[in-house]
Amino acid sequence: MFESIAVVGATGAVGNLIRSLLDERKFPHEQIKFLASARSAGKTIEFQGRKHKVEELRPEAFDGVELAIGSTPDPVAKEFVPWAVERGCVVVDESGYWRMDPKVPLVIPEVNPEAAFNHQGVIASPNCSTTQMVVAMKPLHDAGRITRVVVSTYQATSGAGVGGQRDLENGSRAALHGSTHKYETFAHPIAFNLIPQIGSPKHAGYTSEEMKMVDETHKILGDNTIRICPTCVRVPVLNCHSESILVETERKITAEEARELFANFPGIKVVDDLAKGRYPKPSDCDGDDAVFIGRIREDLSYDNGLAFWCVSDNLRKGAATNAVQIAELLDRT
């Protein structure tokens, strides 16, 4: 058991969820502290029936802390993680800053738990869109080795933070009433619209979000030969990312076998009955820690192809839940 733990970015949307999950899952600890920017320092938050004062994120805040779970912007993670590690603290980091560092394991507990134990003080949690796709890929990859993936994401506004959700709500209200809304997060209107760009231009016409899905998948599965073609789209949904995924495998996997593989894999829930209109929808998956899979079918254009639909709560399994699960892995050793 860790004697002293900390939540970094404790007042943010994911930080709030991390706090709730530590409570719900009864994560063992003796002491806990909540760290945030100077702007939030001094605020009072409640955890397990006790009031705690938020402390300012600074090097001395990690004195005596054994484990920290962080959800902060990349520049903040770049700065605070070395402070913590220098003081003997293990950091589970939600930001994108450390993910592709060769010395930092990138971990999804259902997929590559062993990697967590090779850390040098830092363990990274993957991007939300990568996480649900790789959880879905893992049982198929183990059974038939995936050689190629074509994925289109339908990403909720919560992936862009609270401001993104405000843009959707206020922009929709304005559009319905014939007025205008000044968007604070998105470069284009998201209300009644789709934006086929998430992140900045990165490589050969692909965005930074799309390249995260390529690079992080290769690192997590330890297989750089898997060919991945991603398209990431922001959609007018408040929460839960959806993905249309087509995989090609060395060994043919039938739809029936895939359903069984998915159903027996930890963290996956299968909802797949087209005749009865049963398949995963963001409105049904919100607030759940699972990766939901449906519309499982064999590719009509390629013998060893398999298509399916995948939905997951990007704030939970895509962020907070995965980080807490990594912490639980460490606690069990």
- The whole-number pLDDT of residue 332 equals 83
169 with 297, same domain: the answer is yes
Reported as a single tens digit per residue, the pLDDT across 202-230 is 999 999 999 999 999 999 999 999 999 99
DSSP characters for 228-267? Answer: EEEEEEE-S-SS-EEEEEEEEESS---HHHHHHHHHTSTT
Position 333 pLDDT exceeds 90:
no
Q: What is the CATH number of the domain that holds 229?
A: 3.30.360.10
135 with 122, same domain: the answer is no
31 with 150, same domain: the answer is no
CA 89 from centroid of its chain's CA atoms: 23
204 with 272, same domain: the answer is yes
Position 88 pLDDT exceeds 90:
yes
Per the structure, the count of domains in the chain is: 2
145: domain range? 130-314
- The whole-number pLDDT of residue 90 equals 98
- Report percent pLDDT > 70 for the chain: 100
For the record, the structure tokens of 124 come out as 């990274």
- The whole-number pLDDT of residue 81 equals 98
Reported as a single tens digit per residue, the pLDDT across 136-160 is 999 999 999 999 999 999 999 999 9
39 with 179, same domain: the answer is no
323 with 244, same domain: the answer is no
Catalytic residue status for 203: no
Give the active site residue among 89, 128, 232, 285.
Answer: 128
d(CA 128, CA 7): 19
- The whole-number pLDDT of residue 312 equals 98
- The whole-number pLDDT of residue 64 equals 96
Sheet of 55-56: strand order equals 55-56, 29-36, 2-8, 67-70, 90-93, 122-124
- The whole-number pLDDT of residue 117 equals 95
Q: Sign of the CA dihedral 15, 105, 243, 321?
A: negative
Select from 237, 259, 258, 241 the least CA-distant residue to 249: 258
- The whole-number pLDDT of residue 41 equals 93
Catalytic residue status for 241: yes
Give the active site residue among 119, 141, 181, 241.
Answer: 241
199 with 265, same domain: the answer is yes
pTM: 0.96
- The whole-number pLDDT of residue 1 equals 83
Beta carbons of 159 and 240 less than 8 angstroms apart: no
